[in-house]
Amino acid sequence: MTERVVLAYSGGLDTSVAIPYLAEKTGAEVIAVAVDVGQGGEDMAVIRQRAIDCGAVESEVIDARDEFAADYCLPAIRANALYMDRYPLVSALSRPLIVKHLVAAARKHGGTIVSHGCTGKGNDQVRFEVGLGALAPELKVVAPARDFAWTRDKAIAYAEEKGLPIDVSAKSPYSIDQNLWGRAVETGFLEDIWNGPIEDVYSYTANPAEPRDADEVVITFDAGVPVAIDGETVTPFQAVAELNRRAGAQGIGRLDMVEDRLVGIKSREVYEAPGAIALITAHQELEAVTVERDVARFKKSVDQRWAELAYDGLWFSPLKASLDAFIDDTQKYVSGEVRLTLHAGRAVVTGRRSESSLYDFGMATYDTGDTFDQSLAKGFVQLWGLPSRMAAARDARLGGPSA
């Protein structure tokens, strides 16, 4: 029986060329699986047909936009997930979802091999293969770009030789990955980290320097989940899509950074994530109002580790599952509204309110109505500083560092 390869298919140059190439190299039939995670830009039916035209024996297109928003973007909001305190995991969040559907397709079609278009330099090879190892360790993996030293210029020449229906030339300046959560751009002139990004790089965001009126938006959360925008009920997908539109129109969510890749090299990346940045900004502020101090302090380290696990391809790891349980518990009171002003590339919080708020006006005010008993403060300060005073006295007595 002929083996079958299930290919993670994007419709672009690398994965289109991979279809006939994999068939030649492995002698297997190729099944192309394209997962719609809100990348837009091209009709998924066209992508499906392109896979067939390139030689796939089967081609599936899976609409996973709502699933991506609810099961991957939403946890990232609740975790305030920003890798290196900046990057909202645009590509990293989509990979475990794609892996899940690749495994399902392999079992459906009798596939024994899974293939992807990742190189040996990137993070995505790890995200795909570690995920596959967790969900279906029996599947073999073939990565043409990595395993067969398949370079971009070779892929272009091969596509022209085979007459494949792909509109890509050697002059294409960037490598782009995009989905509902954002857009990632790299390579080309951006590889010189002194070169500033030009306006042509961007697609999800307008130029923040252009004059325009500010946009005010109120986001309602229920247990850490965005459930309404300006009073209109939304699904997670609708929340991200609407904030992509409105925050993007104000130039919010542009990032230009040198990040630490999992494989050990540094890489210059340009990102656009307007909805992600707006939603995380609002969620962080509501947590500041509703989450108790020590929980909030500890959650910052959990959020950072959560982002690192997602970035590093460990979505299906035991630690990630445990952190999910902690984060879920912290969100039970993260309900209320946050008002943002979107303008000139920034999402600025201007108001917040919650029935579960820990902010007490009577305790906080310095005016009439103050309920804080200041007579208690003197003893508190003395006891709070007692260990430091005792250590300082010891150091002075023994000629230590504070003497």
**What's the farthest any 2 CA atoms get from each other in the chain?**
85
Q: Is the pLDDT of residue 162 over 90?
A: no
At the fourth CATH level, the homologous superfamily of domain 4-176 is HUPs (3.40.50.620)
146-149 LR contacts (CB < 8 Å, sep 24+)? 146/118, 146/119, 146/120, 148/21, 148/25
Give binding residues as ranges.
8-16, 87, 117, 119, 123-124, 127, 175, 259, 271
At the fourth CATH level, the homologous superfamily of domain 177-353 is Argininosuccinate synthetase, chain A, domain 2 (3.90.1260.10)
The overall average pLDDT reported for the chain is: 93
pLDDT of residue 373: 87
pLDDT of residue 132: 97
pLDDT of residue 12: 83
Give binding residues for L-citrulline as ranges.
87, 123, 127, 175, 259, 271
Backbone angles phi, psi at 197, to 5 degrees: -65, 140
Per-residue tokens: 99: 């892996």
- pLDDT tens, residue by residue, 303-357: 999 999 999 999 999 999 999 999 999 999 999 999 999 999 999 999 999 999 9
Give binding residues for ATP as ranges.
8-16, 117
- pLDDT tens, residue by residue, 116-156: 988 888 899 999 999 999 999 999 999 988 888 777 788 88
* Catalytic-labelled residue, pool 124, 183, 246, 335: 124
Give binding residues for L-aspartate as ranges.
119, 123-124
**Checking phi first, is residue 399 left (phi over 0); if not, alpha (psi -120 to 50) or beta?**
left
Q: Is the pLDDT of residue 293 over 90?
A: yes
- pLDDT tens, residue by residue, 1-56: 689 999 999 988 889 999 999 999 889 999 999 999 999 877 889 999 999 999 99
Please state, for a pLDDT cut of 90, what percent of the chain lies above it. 79
pLDDT band at 167 (very low <50, low <70, confident <90, very high): low
Q: Is the pLDDT of residue 182 over 60?
A: yes
The DSSP 8-state label assigned to residue 82 in this structure reads -
Cβ contacts of 174 within 8 Å, gap of 6 or more: 185, 186, 187, 188, 190, 201
**Does 14 qualify as catalytic in the annotation?**
yes
Q: Which part of the chain is CATH 3.40.50.620? A: 4-176
Helices 13-26 + 44-53 axis angle, to 10? 30
**Does 147 qualify as catalytic in the annotation?**
no
Q: Is the pLDDT of residue 403 over 70?
A: no
pLDDT band at 298 (very low <50, low <70, confident <90, very high): very high
Q: Are strands 175-179 and 182-186 parallel, antiparallel or unpaired?
A: antiparallel
Q: Which part of the chain is CATH 3.90.1260.10? A: 177-353
Compute the distance between CA of residue 164 and CA of residue 51 in angstroms, rounded to an integer: 10
123 with 263: CB under 8 angstroms?
yes
- pLDDT tens, residue by residue, 78-112: 999 999 999 999 999 999 999 999 999 999 999 99
- pLDDT tens, residue by residue, 197-254: 999 999 999 999 999 999 999 999 999 999 999 999 999 999 999 999 999 999 999 9
54 with 165: CB under 8 angstroms?
yes
**Does 213 qualify as catalytic in the annotation?**
no
* Catalytic-labelled residue, pool 172, 175, 317, 354: 175
Report the CATH fold assignment for 361-393. Answer: 1.20.5
pLDDT band at 362 (very low <50, low <70, confident <90, very high): confident
Cβ contacts of 328 within 8 Å, gap of 6 or more: 78
* Catalytic-labelled residue, pool 95, 183, 246, 352: 95
**What three-state secondary structure class fits 221?**
strand
